[in-house]
């Protein structure tokens, strides 16, 4: 394998796995594809409705993107297509710009997919995948839980047969309340029983099948495709019992035939309005997709390349926008089923796309009788498992800032909507990190007896010398905390008037900036006036590279010691002319 | 001194220094006040013009704020009043809202002072003084240099006798270019010769006087008040030679008498428009003032309390808004003169206020003949000393991110204006810190021979064991860098297949969040699958408090060692059954 072919493989992972493709891989992929197609058809219809689009747009979004991901994707098993959270964000982005279900709304959905795809591609080419790391798990978790609650609440409309709408929990619930008198009892009965069946199937069917000694893998897949059974049965009943005449809303007739060729709106003001939402949606879609991909890849010791995933998801979304679709990404549920069903390569995705295409061409009349309330039920059952309040509690128990970021994201998303919620979460988590580093922990350290190791005098029984102040600052020194350290030293010298030498153990100083350098110079000057000498120990190479050419080091009256132990043994000898003065003054 | 009186003194520092006030302090203060008053009168007129206001408004802003600062200020020598940068920011804030020199413009300037004062007071009561630490010295330095250049450029208008205007350097220069044919040669001659005299006096007069063996202190003060000589001479010439008739613009007649009682505009939309600029201006004013105050206080071993300064500056600005003034803060030049002239207490400020009041009452006719071009010259000479490009070069040489933040702030301020420039600088400096911590330095460490100390194998000659991978991560572990560490360990194990134990030296991990905890669990799981055991050493108390109750520590197969030396001696014995296997494999 020469260098140039490795490079081609990096951009087109398809070149790698096709070399070892054989009949066994093919049959594995085919089985997985069949199961995923069964799952994808009702999900794609449901998520299109969730996004505010006609149901069949979901099918359009489930063909081209999967084909394109096959070529560019670095995950072997990721199932790309419409997903719940991104569909919700699509609805949030478009709701202000056009009436739901209108041709203009669809046009803007296409434009949103195009912008999101272009942004993802650009980030991929610029190798900006690392930016996703700035979303902490706590924020993502709070956001996903809140989105799932919002989705479930918004789907109550379909479930009870009325039209509710809104960007946040309060708006949705108020809208439902206002229309509660228009509730349709039969729709509610169908939707509710489907929801109960689905929740039961997840909780109990699994246990039942396992007790019947069905293989665990088959049980998992059966439970995942349970919605398909529900849909087949309710669609048949709708046809047999003529539910449409009784007022149950059905999916109805769907345009049959080839997928359309479309293009985004070339309107600058629409692009401006959609740019922010497209960016947020791209990032969430990317983070969700990569984390699913990495989790599954790790189980088979494979790798997922985040920057390549940006390219693949970007191209998939551009593909969606050219074929009448709306924003897509890699979804958790279908990817997991694809993996468990034994998919080996992205060919499974290609076959899934072909299956959806067949349905869109020939079988749309079968979907006519599918009740919308059943689609709402499948969404509710699907997203409720995404609500993970235990996780948020765990983050709070581990560290208050994490819990705060997760809780804030959850609340703001619920109360003010997905876009504000996500932005608030990201800024809060970054601000908390900044605030923490701006108030550094500073420990006075002493020698652990029998070792050459120094620890905090407040936590360990250690040996100290009243004339040598040993300090360890537990933070990189930079502008936000330089002043704090200045104030600490000033105060410490007032409290410990015997001190003649200060040694700063720099083992936790990973970085230093110009403001901090100036602060160190101020400190040295103040210490000089007080007749105290400043020394440094365990300065890291990177920090020393910066400090060495500065007047601070050149004019430093003290020394820079390799280890803190060397500093203390030297200085204690200097001060008291005898190591015996090291007395254990804390019992 | 009981507790409650200490508390009163904290809020009213006047209670502290008045107890020791005597005749000697009084005479010292009086001399300083006389000199500062001489400086302040032309400066206050000039800065009012810079802010876009009639010259005499500068006098109004130089009375009440000084009196109020005397009561609340924690600095003994800070000279409060109109300053160049804050006046420039005032002009930038108001230029969009009302025509320059109009009564509405004045009304909005009063409102801006009120809002700024209220914000400073609120920040003081909430003890938010530490927030100013988030402005790095690099950003402040870039901002001040750029502001000084902008001010000098905008004053070219007064100097050459035409009206230029603009929010940034390009606008200002283009405006001057357009009106260049209206240049007034006599005004230019007067302004230019004044500027040259002032610059000469700073550079040469000092040397001259020193060579005449005049005391250094008196030399410093003489140089500082040189503008007063220039003003007296040019004003006299304007009167004698009737420059007004020849087209030289003079300050003209000033309303004589009591300072007016005013109040802000109570208009919500104006408040909204001014809130952002007021906040930026408050922060810059506060930072400038506190840094001047602390620098001067340190020279006399006094202290300045940042939160009290917020209160004092806030009250001063509210005072300015109630007496017809515009935003004020503690200025560098006058405070330094006040200090050098021997001011002992804020009584000097009180006397200065009285001096200005006398001028406003009785002596405004004397100011009638002062040419505006001379005021422009004094501003240009004053601000040019604030341009410190050497400082920016020093930050760049010390660390690229510092230099980048300083340079960016300088350029954006020059090209897009003060408000965007400051915000861009703050965000850039914070983003650079975040970016740096998101790409942590990870070192493989080995034992320094003859010590118990471990250092980077790439920088030091150290002892390592091929079966024990010793890693030190030089950053707190949190969401933005957790993935990087995961990837590093995976890669390291591929490159070093002999490794059986990994020891993570945690001396530089000051903090850990939930995302990083999850990452550590993933790493431990992967290592387990690879048959490698993960250990920790030198975990800080704070970090261990967080980790101890988690499943990560409970299920950890390895140990948590107090010191890295203990870890390596234990593990090397374990692995090779003999310490002799420690071989110096790097020569």
Q: Tens of pLDDT along B404-418?
A: 999 999 999 999 988
Q: In the prediction, which pLDDT does A173 show?
A: 83
Contact criterion met (CB below 8 Å) for A456 and B541:
yes
Instruction: Please name the residues in contact with A209: beta carbons below 8 A apart, sequence gap of 6 or more.
Output: A218, A219, A222, A223
Q: In the prediction, which pLDDT does A183 show?
A: 82
Q: In the prediction, which pLDDT does A578 show?
A: 38
Strands A329-330, B501-505: pairing kind:
unpaired
**pLDDT tens, residue by residue, B21-37:** 788 888 888 888 988 89
Q: In the prediction, which pLDDT does B585 show?
A: 44
Closest approach of A57 to chain B, Cα-based (Å): 36
> Closest by alpha carbon to A259, among A41, A64, A103, A52?
A64
Contacts of B550 in chain A (CB under 8 A): 398
Q: Do A510 and B475 touch (CB under 8 A)?
A: yes
Q: What are phi and psi of B165, to 5 degrees?
A: -165, 165
Q: In the prediction, which pLDDT does A5 show?
A: 59
Q: Do B484 and A538 touch (CB under 8 A)?
A: no
Contacts of A478 in chain B (CB under 8 A): 136, 433
- CA torsion angle for B76, B78, B80, B84 (degrees, to 10)? 180
Q: Which helix H or strand E contains A471, and what residues bound it?
A: strand A468-473
Q: Do A526 and B459 touch (CB under 8 A)?
A: no
Contact criterion met (CB below 8 Å) for A117 and A318:
yes
Q: In the prediction, which pLDDT does B410 show?
A: 94
Question: Which of B514, B530, B561, B568 to substitute to test the interface with A, most A CBs within 10 Å?
Answer: B514
User: Mean pLDDT across chain B, nearest whole number?
Assistant: 87
A336-361 per-residue burial string, b: 16 or more CB within 10 A, e: under 16: bbbbbbbbbbbbbbbbbbebbbebbe
Token output for A324: 């009448």
**CA angle, A89 then A95 then A99, to 5°:** 140
**pLDDT tens, residue by residue, B271-287:** 999 999 999 999 999 98
Closest approach of A9 to chain B, Cα-based (Å): 20
Contacts of A290 in chain B (CB under 8 A): none
Task: Point out the residue among B508, B512, B514 whose CB comes nearest to the CB of A508.
Answer: B508
- Assign B456 to helix, strand or coil: strand
Q: DSSP assignment of B283-323, as one string?
A: HHHHHHHHHHHHHHHHHTT----HHHHHHHHHHHHHHHHHT
Task: Point out the residue among B135, B452, B508 whose CB comes nearest to the CB of A510.
Answer: B508
Q: What is the percent of chain B with per-residue pLDDT over 90, rounded to a whole number? A: 41
Q: Do A508 and B507 touch (CB under 8 A)?
A: yes
Q: Do A401 and B513 touch (CB under 8 A)?
A: yes
Contact criterion met (CB below 8 Å) for B154 and B172:
yes
Q: Do B514 and A550 touch (CB under 8 A)?
A: no
**pLDDT tens, residue by residue, B394-406:** 999 999 999 999 9
Q: In the prediction, which pLDDT does A164 show?
A: 53
Contacts of A397 in chain B (CB under 8 A): 549
Q: Do A133 and B484 touch (CB under 8 A)?
A: yes
**pLDDT tens, residue by residue, A124-145:** 999 988 888 888 889 989 999 9
Q: Do A138 and B452 touch (CB under 8 A)?
A: no
Measured from the Cβ of residue B207, the count of other Cβ atoms closer than 10 Å reads 10
pLDDT mean over B456-484: 90
Task: Point out the residue among A298, A513, A526 whose CB comes nearest to the CB of B402.
Answer: A513
pLDDT mean over B301-313: 88
Strands A454-456, A442-447: pairing kind:
antiparallel
Q: In the prediction, which pLDDT does A134 show?
A: 85
Contacts of B522 in chain A (CB under 8 A): 298
Task: Please give the ipTM for the structure prediction.
Answer: 0.82
Task: Point out the residue among B135, B402, B513 whose CB comes nearest to the CB of A399.
Answer: B513
Q: Do A456 and B541 touch (CB under 8 A)?
A: yes
Q: Do B507 and A507 touch (CB under 8 A)?
A: yes
CA distance B104 to B265: 10
Q: In the prediction, which pLDDT does A224 show?
A: 76
> Closest by alpha carbon to B349, among B35, B11, B13?
B35
Contact criterion met (CB below 8 Å) for A305 and A246:
no
> Closest by alpha carbon to B80, among B31, B117, B124?
B117
Question: Which of B299, B477, B479, B540 to substitute to test the interface with A, most A CBs within 10 Å?
Answer: B479
Q: In the prediction, which pLDDT does B579 show?
A: 41
Question: Which of B453, B477, B484, B517 to substitute to test the interface with A, most A CBs within 10 Å?
Answer: B453
Which stretches of A300-331 are DSSP H helices? 306-322
Closest approach of A518 to chain B, Cα-based (Å): 9
| Contact pairs from chain A to chain B, CB under 8 Å | 179
Q: In the prediction, which pLDDT does B578 show?
A: 38
* pTM for the predicted model, two decimal places: 0.82
Q: In the prediction, which pLDDT does B164 show?
A: 53
Contacts of B511 in chain A (CB under 8 A): 436-437
Q: In the prediction, which pLDDT does B249 show?
A: 87
Q: In the prediction, which pLDDT does B581 show?
A: 43
Closest approach of B87 to chain A, Cα-based (Å): 26
Contact criterion met (CB below 8 Å) for A212 and A218:
no
Task: Point out the residue among A133, A394, A474 whose CB comes nearest to the CB of B510.
Answer: A474
Closest approach of A466 to chain B, Cα-based (Å): 23
Q: In a 10 Å sphere around its CB, with 0-12 CB exposed, 13-18 middle and 19+ buried, how is residue B434 labelled?
A: middle
Q: In the prediction, which pLDDT does A577 show?
A: 44
Q: What are phi and psi of B493, to 5 degrees?
A: -70, -30
Phi-psi map region of B53: left, alpha, beta (phi>0 left; psi -120 to 50 alpha):
beta
CA distance B495 to B477: 23
Q: Which residue is closest to B509 within chain A, CA to CA?
A: A508
Closest approach of A349 to chain B, Cα-based (Å): 28
| Token pair 């206080």: residue | B297
Q: In the prediction, which pLDDT does A4 show?
A: 57
> Closest by alpha carbon to A547, among A539, A535, A538, A557?
A539
Contact criterion met (CB below 8 Å) for A110 and A321:
yes
Indicate whether B470 pLDDT > 90: yes
Chunk chain A into consecutive blocks of 10 residues (it has 587) and report each block's average pLDDT, rounded to whole numbers: 61 75 83 87 90 92 94 90 93 89 93 97 92 86 91 82 70 80 86 91 83 82 81 92 88 81 92 93 92 81 85 96 95 85 86 90 84 89 87 91 94 90 90 88 91 90 90 90 86 88 92 91 89 93 92 93 92 56 43
CA within 13 Å, CB half, B335: 24
CA distance A265 to A98: 13
CA distance A338 to B32: 83
**pLDDT tens, residue by residue, B322-377:** 999 999 999 888 888 888 888 888 889 999 999 999 888 888 888 889 898 998 89
């Amino acid at each position: 394998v020469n260098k140039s072919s490795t490079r081609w493989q990096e951009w087109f992972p398809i070149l790698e796995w096709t070399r070892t493709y054989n009949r066994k891989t093919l049959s594995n992929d085919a089985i997985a594809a069949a199961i995923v197609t069964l799952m994808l058809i009702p999900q794609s219809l449901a998520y299109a409705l969730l996004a505010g689009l006609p149901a069949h747009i979901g099918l359009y979004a489930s063909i081209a993107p999967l084909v394109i991901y096959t070529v560019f994707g670095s995950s072997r098993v990721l199932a790309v297509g419409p997903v719940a959270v991104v569909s919700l964000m699509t609805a949030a982005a478009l709701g202000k710009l056009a009436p739901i279900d209108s041709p203009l709304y669809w046009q803007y959905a296409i434009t949103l997919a195009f912008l999101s795809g272009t942004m993802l591609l650009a980030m991929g080419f610029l190798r900006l995948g690392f930016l996703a790391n700035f979303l902490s798990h706590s924020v993502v978790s709070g956001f996903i839980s809140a989105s799932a609650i919002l989705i479930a609440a918004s789907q109550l409309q379909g479930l009870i047969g009325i039209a509710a709408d809104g960007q946040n929990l309060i708006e949705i619930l108020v809208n439902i309340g206002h229309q509660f008198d228009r509730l349709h009892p039969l729709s509610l009965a169908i939707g509710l029983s489907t929801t109960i069946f689905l929740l039961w199937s997840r909780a109990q069917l699994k246990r039942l099948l396992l007790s019947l000694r069905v293989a665990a893998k088959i049980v998992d897949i059966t439970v995942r495709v349970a919605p398909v059974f529900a849909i087949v049965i309710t669609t048949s009943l709708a046809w047999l019992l003529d539910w449409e005449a009784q007022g149950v809303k059905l999916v109805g007739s769907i345009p049959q035939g080839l997928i359309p060729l479309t293009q985004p709106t070339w309107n600058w003001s629409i692009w401006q309005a959609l740019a922010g939402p497209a960016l947020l949606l791209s990032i969430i879609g990317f983070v969700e997709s990569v984390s699913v991909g990495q989790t599954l890849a790790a189980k088979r010791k494979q790798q997922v390349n985040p920057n390549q995933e940006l390219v693949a998801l970007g191209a998939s979304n551009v593909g969606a926008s050219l074929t009448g679709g709306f924003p897509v990404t890699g979804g958790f549920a279908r990817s997991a089923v694809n993996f468990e069903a034994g998919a080996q390569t992205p060919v499974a995705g290609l076959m899934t796309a072909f299956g959806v295409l067949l349905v869109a061409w020939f079988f749309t009349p079968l979907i006519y009788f599918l009740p919308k309330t059943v689609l709402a039920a499948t969404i509710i059952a699907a997203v409720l498992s995404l609500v993970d309040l235990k996780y948020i509690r765990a983050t709070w128990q581990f560290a208050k800032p994490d819990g705060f970021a997760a809780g804030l994201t959850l609340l703001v998303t619920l109360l003010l909507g997905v876009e504000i919620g996500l932005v608030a979460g990201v800024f809060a988590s970054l601000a908390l990190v900044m605030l923490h580093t701006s108030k550094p922990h500073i420990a006075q350290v002493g020698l652990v007896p029998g070792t050459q190791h120094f620890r905090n005098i407040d936590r360990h029984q250690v040996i100290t010398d009243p004339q040598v102040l040993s300090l360890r600052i537990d933070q990189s020194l930079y502008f936000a905390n330089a002043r704090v350290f200045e104030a600490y030293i000033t105060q410490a010298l007032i409290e410990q008037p015997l001190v003649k030498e200060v040694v700063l153990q720099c083992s936790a100083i990973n970085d230093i900036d110009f403001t901090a350098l100036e602060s160190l110079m101020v400190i040295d000057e103040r210490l000089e006036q007080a007749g105290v000498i400043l020394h440094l120990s365990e300065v890291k190479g990177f920090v020393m590279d910066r400090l060495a050419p500065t007047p601070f080091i050149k004019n430093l009256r003290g020394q820079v010691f390799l280890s803190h132990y060397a500093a203390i043994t030297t200085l204690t000898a200097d001060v008291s002319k005898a190591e015996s003065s090291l007395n254990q003054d804390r019992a």
